[in-house]
Amino acid sequence: MKRGSIFETDGIPRIQEALPLALQHVVAMIVGCVTPAIIVAGAAGLENKDQVILIQAALVVAALSTLLQLFPIGKKYRIGSGLPIIMGVSFAYVPSMQAIADGYGIDTILGAQIVGGVVAVIMGIMVKKIRVFFPPLITGTVVFTIGLSLYPTAINYMAGGTSNPDYGSWQNWLVAFFTLAVVTALNHFGKGIWKLSSILIGMLAGYVVSIPFGMVDLSSVGKASVFQVPQPLHFGVHFEISACVAIGLLFAINSIQAIGDYSATTIGAMNRTPKDSELQGGIVAYGITNILGALFGGLPTATYSQNVGIVTTTKVINRWVLGLAAAFLGIAGFVPKFSALLTTIPQCVLGGATVSVFASIAMTGMKLVASAEMDYRNSSIVGLAAALGVGVSQANAALATLPAWVTTIFGKSPVVLATIIAVCLNLILPKARDEEKEEKIHDSQVQEKLEEDHKMFGNGQE
């Protein structure tokens, strides 16, 4: 392999240049990659040993998914985008996964993930025809609803976690707000690596402060082994129709959202729009890696916007740099002691660090919504979708007389209902003539706005 520049896609750069840039990508995403696994493990009531395995799988699957995106397989029918993209476990699935984990278990999440992977493969093959159903107004509404639905999770964690006997104690709130203050200060006043790693540094600071309060128990780290290969089918796989519908719909939405990340990457760092083959190959690979990842216990992955922000800011598009970052993730996934250490993070620290992430998700959704003219029609779509989606999920007894599968699909997480309502209203409600004309030139405008979104909210999760 020939020597290459960090500003070129191909070629191996010098290690002294590649190493710090790769670590920058790892620092920016590793907390976001493992936190969903920690949250879902808590919802499922997993023992510490199983929590470690779930975190291991998250890291390994993120590494493999990233490598396939960077270095595609095949030529005519390519699997992988070939673009400088980082993959990781996504917060977008957390509300639905929490509901499924609480009602069924991890195996049902993984079964639904396999179905979702198949949906993503189909979306990738038909991406040009299907993307018309998910304009920025719809994807923005969905992202906004995801952010709203995650707020209770963050607040419960800030209070110490609902299963904690000290839930709501002043110590938990003190540590949580200290962590949040550090993250916020670094986001607004920090520069370079300090800003990019604000969440990680905030969690480290909160972790240190929580020790004197007796919130950290390192016994699980001592019991964990030094090296362990992730165990296929450790949690098993179970297919529940309602769970498959809920997760499958989210995979369809995230497949369309991935187009935004691919577009932001190529426009912001490569001065071009993504090719159809790159979009198709990237989304197909996203589906395939999630199918395989489910067999290893890895939760659903997606493209990571904060890493897209790094690429567009630094213009470093060398695939070997990001491949080195993926290698670090993979190595970390084979070390159970590292995963066990992550399980010792107090829930109040997690809450203080992630509440800003959830806020940025909601604000990113609002930014996407605002990219469309907010006339009476569009306001009705966004307002009704968010109101019914969030309202039904919060009114716990609203669907009590209906079959259990209805509650699982529509009542546990607001995302599914909000998505269905938004898509249907967008198809049914009449459009103004000016709006129909604008849609003919909308794609290029959308790509520009998505690029702005990723620059503005570079530290948020997809």
- Residue 173 pLDDT more than 50? yes
Q: Is residue 5 included in any domain, yes or no?
A: no
How many folded domains does the chain comprise? 1
What pLDDT was estimated at residue 232? 87
- Residue 175 pLDDT more than 90? yes
Average pLDDT, the chain: 84
What pLDDT was estimated at residue 460? 44
Q: Is residue 58 included in any domain, yes or no?
A: yes
pLDDT confidence bin for 457, thresholds 50/70/90? very low
pLDDT confidence bin for 82, thresholds 50/70/90? very high
Encode pLDDT of 104-138 as tens digits.
999 999 999 999 999 999 999 998 787 777 788 88
pTM over 0.85: no
Q: Is residue 243 included in any domain, yes or no?
A: yes
- Residue 2 pLDDT more than 80? no
Encode pLDDT of 38-59 as tens digits.
899 988 989 888 998 999 999 9
CA-to-CA distance for 381 and 252, rounded, in angstroms?
Answer: 19
> Which domain range does residue 151 map to?
15-456
- Residue 448 pLDDT more than 70? no
Q: Is residue 9 included in any domain, yes or no?
A: no
- Residue 390 pLDDT more than 70? yes
Q: Is residue 420 included in any domain, yes or no?
A: yes
- Residue 212 pLDDT more than 70? yes
Q: Is residue 462 included in any domain, yes or no?
A: no
Encode pLDDT of 216-263 as tens digits.
888 878 877 888 887 889 999 999 998 999 899 889 888 877 887 787
- Residue 342 pLDDT more than 50? yes
Q: Is residue 110 included in any domain, yes or no?
A: yes
Q: Is residue 331 included in any domain, yes or no?
A: yes
What pLDDT was estimated at residue 338? 84
